[in-house]
Structure 1
């Protein structure tokens, strides 16, 4: 079944890929494996100690490769994962 309201995006279709672009993608994926990763998971209870936003206790509700979002009673605060410790 063909939809009449759908048009395929032809911008990258048939465009040649240079050797430099392919090597840059491969190198980027390789280096991403060695970059720091966040050891916390969503739902972990942690303490975030930041000199600017203060000490906050809460639950991890968002995580990225290098940062976490900690939900506290005052809202969600974002910390670098190196400034967060697990709560005892």
Structure 2
């Protein structure tokens, strides 16, 4: 009729499944966050030179870092206050 052990075992399996699902969710969330954020070698305030066929060659100070894009604040702004470059197109001028 009533078997308390099987009911307990079913409850334990359910708890293990829930714990595994939450742990997998944490792992995938951490992996997605790391994949979205790129490790740029530059920091806000660094003086860099950018060379791009569309934006031209300009030097400036890093003002904004959003993923792979870095916003440079230049002395002579062309078309706006910031010029965005991919971090792979930037270098230190010296």
Give me the TM-score of the superposition, normalised by structure 1.
0.64
* Unpaired segments ≥5 residues, structure 1: 1-15
* Unpaired segments ≥5 residues, structure 2: 1-17
CA contact (8 A) 1:38 1:64 kept: no
Q: Deviations over 1:2-57 (max 9, x none)?
A: xxxxxxxxxxxxxx9x92x7524412413516x64111011111011111111111
CA RMSD in angstroms, aligned pairs only: 2.8
Q: Secondary structure at the match of 1:82?
A: helix
Tell whether 2:65 aligns with 1:63. yes
Give me the TM-score of the superposition, normalised by structure 2.
0.61
Decide which structure has greater helix share: 2
Separation in structure 1 between the aligned mates of residue 46 and residue 90 of structure 2, nearest angstrom: 11
**Corresponding residue for residue 15 of structure 2:** none
